[in-house]
C-alpha cells in the first residue's frame, strides 16, 4: 500500500505519487519504512514494458514464498522469474550475499558474557550517567553471547511495571537460552532496594517455569555495579 492507501502491485512507478515512490520514501523515512516488495523494487530499478518494477518485485517474493528462501537462490532460479534478466539477477544475488556476510560478521562479533563484570562492561557506558532509571534485558544464546538488548521501560522500578510475561515472550521470540536484566540507579549508588529484590525474585521464578534462566540482575551506579546473583539475592 502507498501512503495514500493505493495498492502498489499493479501501478507503474510514474503512476505513484512521488512522495510514495520507494526510492523517495527511503530517502525521507529510511530503509526500515519500506516493505520487502519496495526494497526489491529499488534493487531491480526498472520493470518491463508491460509490468511495473513493483509487480516484478512482488513476483520474486511469490516465487520464493518467504524472503528467507532468497538467500539460497541461484542465478538460474532468479532469472527464471518473468521480468528478470541476468543483470538484475546478478544485482539481487550480490545484495543477498552482502547481507549474508554482514549477518555472519555480526554473529562473529557478538559479545560473550562470562561474568557479572562482562555484563557491567557491556552496559556501563550507556547506563552509568542516565538521569532516569532504565530497565534493560540482555537476551543470550547457549554460548552466553548477546543476541539482543532491549530497554523494557523507563521510570522507577517496581513489580507492577515489570511484567515477566513480556520479558520471557521476547526471550522465546529471540530463541534465547537465558537472560540478564539490568537497571541503573541515577543516585549513583547501586545498592538494591526492596523493589529491586522483589522484581528479581519474580523474574527468577518465572524463568524457571518457562525454561529461560535469569543469570543475573545487575544494578549500575556511578561507574560501579552490583551483581544481585553474586550478592546471593537469588
Q: For residue range 38-48, list pLDDT tens digits in order.
A: 999 999 999 99
* 18-54 pLDDT per residue, tens: 546 888 989 999 999 999 999 999 999 999 988 999 9
Question: For 174-229, where are the alpha helices, taking DSSP H only?
Answer: 194-210
User: Do the strands 178-184 and 213-220 form a parallel or antiparallel pair, or are they unpaired?
Assistant: parallel
Q: Where are the beta strands (DSSP E) in 77-192?
A: 134-140, 146-154, 178-184
- With bands split at pLDDT 50, 70 and 90, how would you rate the model's confidence at 233? very high
- With bands split at pLDDT 50, 70 and 90, how would you rate the model's confidence at 2? very low
For residue 159, the model assigns a pLDDT of 59
pLDDT at 15 over 60: no
With contact defined as beta carbons under 8 Å apart, do 170 and 150 qualify? yes
pLDDT at 98 over 80: yes
CATH number for the region 13-108 comes to: 1.10.150
Mean pLDDT (whole number) for 138-161: 88
For residue 6, the model assigns a pLDDT of 43
CA dihedral of residues 181, 185, 190, 196 (deg, nearest 10): -50
pLDDT at 103 over 80: no
pLDDT at 61 over 60: yes
- With bands split at pLDDT 50, 70 and 90, how would you rate the model's confidence at 173? very high
For residue 131, the model assigns a pLDDT of 87
Q: Report the chain's terminal Cα–Cα distance, integer Å.
A: 50
The overall pTM is greater than 0.85 = no
Residue 30's Cβ-count burial label (10 Å; 0-12, 13-18, 19+) is: exposed
Stretch(es) of the chain classified as CATH 3.40.140.10: 116-227
Pairwise pLDDT comparison (223 vs 105), residue with the higher score: 223
Mean pLDDT (whole number) for 172-195: 95
pLDDT at 7 over 60: no
Q: How many helices (H) and strands (E) does the chain have?
A: 8, 5
With contact defined as beta carbons under 8 Å apart, do 2 and 16 qualify? yes
Stretch(es) of the chain classified as CATH 1.10.150: 13-108
Question: Which of 3.30.70.20, 3.40.140.10, 3.40.50.2000, 3.30.9.10 would CATH assign to domain 116-227?
Answer: 3.40.140.10
Residue 77's Cβ-count burial label (10 Å; 0-12, 13-18, 19+) is: middle
Amino acid at each position: 500500500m502507498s501512503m495514500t492507501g493505493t495498492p502498489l502491485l499493479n501501478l507503474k512507478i510514474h503512476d505513484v505519487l512521488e512522495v510514495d515512490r520507494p526510492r523517495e520514501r527511503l530517502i525521507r523515512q529510511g530503509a526500515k519504512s519500506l516493505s520487502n516488495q519496495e526494497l526489491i523494487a529499488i534493487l531491480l530499478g526498472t520493470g518491463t514494458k508491460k509490468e511495473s518494477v513493483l509487480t516484478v518485485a512482488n513476483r520474486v517474493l511469490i516465487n520464493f514464498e518467504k524472503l528467507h528462501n532468497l538467500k539460497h537462490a541461484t542465478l538460474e532460479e532468479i532469472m527464471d522469474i518473468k521480468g528478470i534478466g541476468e543483470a538484475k539477477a546478478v544485482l539481487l544475488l550480490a545484495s543477498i550475499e552482502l547481507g549474508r556476510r554482514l549477518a555472519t560478521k555480526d554473529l562473529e562479533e557478538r559479545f560473550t558474557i562470562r561474568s557479572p563484570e562482562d555484563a557491567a562492561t557491556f552496559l556501563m557506558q550507556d547506563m552509568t550517567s542516565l538521569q532516569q532509571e532504565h530497565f534493560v534485558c540482555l537476551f543470550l544464546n547457549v554460548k552466553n553471547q548477546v543476541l539482543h538488548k532491549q530497554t523494557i521501560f523507563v521510570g522507577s522500578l517496581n513489580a507492577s511495571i515489570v511484567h515477566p510475561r513480556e520479558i520471557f515472550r521476547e526471550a522465546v521470540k529471540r530463541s534465547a537460552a537465558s537472560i540478564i536484566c539490568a537497571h541503573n540507579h541515577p543516585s549513583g549508588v547501586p545498592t538494591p532496594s526492596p523493589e529491586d529484590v522483589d522484581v528479581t525474585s519474580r523474574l527468577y521464578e518465572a524463568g524457571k517455569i518457562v525454561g529461560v534462566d535469569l543469570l543475573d540482575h545487575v544494578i549500575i551506579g556511578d561507574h560501579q555495579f552490583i551483581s544481585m546473583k553474586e550478592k546471593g539475592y537469588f
